[in-house]
Structure 1
């Protein structure tokens, strides 16, 4: 055991910039990539990480004093800046847990499919960072790698259960056969959305209110004013400048802060695309690896929740949630995060809610408000951990910075973390959750008929993002 731990520690000691090329080269070779492609994948991921570090330094040089004034002069305990999923995904992959998460999750997925505990083949390699982040939080809190991977496993298995049980709804609402959504964030929004639906069913006389009108939504989206205020660049400029003016900056200084926030909104997703570009050869090899081994079986292809974003209700509710999220950040007791990067991607928060509610606007909106409140509180809870990751070198922030977090952590991250920190009982409950969820899903799948086929085995998520 000590030998295994020393191997893990030796890889970790390389630092994220070197660790990622080494690990991705090894992983790529294992699943069938050519050496040159695997090596280039790892180097490309590291380049994306370095780019994110450069952007974070720029942002903190401008935003950290503003956050300090909000805390000290206004009594607002908004000490964490929301840097969004792009920065945190880089954090997740650059940790010790993140270095091994891809082969671990692939192996676990194969085992669960073989045992008929899931029908979902999760080829969405990029979004494995959600499971890595859950495990990394636990590793930071406990120092225990076994607990860390148990926590990541709970998140993954829970996501598969949600994916299997919502697959037919996803296919019906979006009109895309053969898919499911095991993405770690989207899956975590399903439990409260289901509860909202049940409450509405108790009181609603008309349970079949139709979806938002697609034509009206498209006209609304094309309105020049709407296009301006919902553009991530303008969101960064407006929010950054407004906050700086509120704390007493002059117009020139406030606009400088606003421009730096625009840089965050514009550059971070592009650096994340570099990371994703690096992962593409690994993802393609993993897809071929999995489908070859399960050829002829019936299963769902696990896709990114991006395939859901084109629904009119998702678009409409996402726009409405933008100002609501800012208001909640101010009035919600216990919140400590300033929403920024997450504001421009509120559609992701309700992508699965739209599916659960079959496009019903008010149900989806209520689910979105509840989900946003939960995410604000959970991201506030994890603020110290994400900041510590940054200070430890996973991503760079200047010394003395107030802190960072991201509105991407969720219930499936929070619950394993709480359990892992309960001595003795917690680890037992984690194991029980993994086994219980797997067996429960296996029993449920046995009862299902008309399961998905492999018709869309070669489907490309990008083909459906505008569906």
Structure 2
């Protein structure tokens, strides 16, 4: 059985999302009656879009990563837990037997729940991000040696994320303008309850009146408010902070200008790539409408897409980049924190997607929410780093050479999903049953009031008092 899951993992790693997601899109299009030419074109556009996202993000990361490293080194603060990034975490997750067992199991669970109409989110189209469940399950298995408890944890986490994804699906799809698409990355979706709560609170505090988003900035400041110019300024500012002690050197100014222009380029290029990706789903949307009309019974469902598709949306990218120096500074002064966020600071635009979508692109709301949530996340990283390091050492001892503790800020700095892990770690039946019962209560409550909840998320940024209409 493990050999089968190893093969699945190898296929996923070999071909990647840029091949497997388009294939999935082609299959779905054919099942919905789309002809071969249109189905193939949709798959190809999807592949081109995803590849474009990766090319832009990877190129930008290679340029900005040394700048972020310089910011950390210049601060001169010693924090013993090093953030090695989500990439190393994914490798660790796909290298554990318990992780691979769940990976195979997750395919059947996610497909089954969709076709049984337990959820209207088709999650298998983003199989890759299951590694986020797998790493938590691997840690629990290492500590308890209980395979069933570890599998149950991952299944329960998956159920919660599917629920959160369905709650946010229309809001995410509307905001990022990908028809009938949603995001199911566990390490981002777990922020949903906090994002909704903070959006309500900040709205009542007057943040709805703060029109701090890329569109309003462009209206007020013309070219100086355009996302491209904002990227130029932010990129330059980060590089200046990173090289403030070498501003007299010509090489430093080369780094500053490269950082500035690269950030401006991402802000300008990413929306165009996003347009290509979004066009891949036009055929599927038309087929969906046609099928619904013919049958007279419409099922509203959403296809999960990789979180990379939202990375470069102007408000998302601006929020994430602004948070880079903020979260680095907080890490240095936060009492109890032992984690130095490094590699995953570049993932902050991914990490704020839910905040940005729920607040309808309000940068002020998103930054405040992000600062609070990710500060709590730093403390979570400091708590679970010893467990994570043990798993990493078993998989690849070189990752922890020199006695360092490691963590992924982007994957592990999430309080809700970490609390589920800590609850299962106690092996207390009452706590575990309580978490499971809570899921079913939330699931059936959402199903009963789905229209009101989804409508509220669409309207709540207009008037903070609209919360009353839902009660």
Q: Deviations over 1:5-51 (max 9, x none)?
A: xx76xx6xxxxxx98448646999xxxx99xx9xxxxxxxxxxxxxx
DSSP-derived class of the 1:302 partner: strand
Deviation at 1:421, TM superposition (A): 2.0
Q: Is the 8 A contact 1:150 1:430 kept in 2?
A: no
DSSP-derived class of the 2:398 partner: coil
- In 2, Cα distance between the equivalents of 1:373 and 1:26? 33
1:112–1:129 CA distance, 2 compared to 1 (3 A)? same
Counterpart position of 1:220: 229
DSSP-derived class of the 2:395 partner: coil
Counterpart position of 1:326: 328
Q: Is the 8 A contact 2:12 2:128 kept in 1?
A: no
RMSD over aligned CA atoms reads 4.0
1:228–1:86 CA distance, 2 compared to 1 (3 A)? farther
Q: Deviations over 1:168-202 (max 9, x none)?
A: 11122222221222110110122222221122233
Deviation at 1:448, TM superposition (A): 4.0
DSSP-derived class of the 1:210 partner: coil
Q: Is the 8 A contact 1:217 1:316 kept in 2?
A: no
Counterpart position of 2:443: 441
DSSP-derived class of the 2:409 partner: coil
Q: Is the 8 A contact 2:234 2:321 kept in 1?
A: no
- In 1, Cα distance between the equivalents of 2:419 and 2:357? 24
Q: 1:417 aligns with which of 421, 428, 431?
A: 421
- Give the structure-2-normalised TM-score: 0.64
- In 2, Cα distance between the equivalents of 1:128 and 1:99? 10
- Give the structure-1-normalised TM-score: 0.64
1:115–1:20 CA distance, 2 compared to 1 (3 A)? closer
Counterpart position of 1:88: 89
Q: Is the 8 A contact 2:85 2:344 kept in 1?
A: yes
Counterpart position of 1:346: 348
Q: 1:308 aligns with which of 303, 307, 310?
A: 310
Q: 2:165 aligns with which of 163, 170, 176?
A: 163
DSSP-derived class of the 1:207 partner: helix
- The farther-off stretch of 138-147 and 308-317 is 308-317
Q: Deviations over 1:287-344 (max 9, x none)?
A: xxxx9xxx99542111222222233221222121111111111111111111110222
Deviation at 1:406, TM superposition (A): 1.3
Gaps of 5+ in 2: 24-68, 219-224, 247-251, 253-287, 289-294, 455-471
Q: Is the 8 A contact 1:134 1:416 kept in 2?
A: no
Alignment partner of 1:193 is 2:202? no
Counterpart position of 1:111: 112
1:144–1:382 CA distance, 2 compared to 1 (3 A)? same
Deviation at 1:369, TM superposition (A): 0.3
Q: Is the 8 A contact 1:84 1:406 kept in 2?
A: yes
Alignment of 1:49-448 (within 5 A): 78-122=79-123, 123-204=125-206, 207-214=208-215, 215=218, 216-223=225-232, 226-227=234-235, 298-394=300-396, 396-397=398-399, 399-408=401-410, 409=412, 410-425=414-429, 428-434=430-436, 436-438=438-440, 440-445=442-447, 447-448=449-450
1:138–1:212 CA distance, 2 compared to 1 (3 A)? same
- In 2, Cα distance between the equivalents of 1:26 and 1:85? 17
Deviation at 1:396, TM superposition (A): 2.1
Matched positions, count? 346
Deviation at 1:113, TM superposition (A): 2.5
- In 1, Cα distance between the equivalents of 2:142 and 2:84? 20
Q: Is the 8 A contact 1:95 1:394 kept in 2?
A: no
- In 2, Cα distance between the equivalents of 1:217 and 1:191? 31
Deviation at 1:138, TM superposition (A): 1.0
Deviation at 1:420, TM superposition (A): 1.2
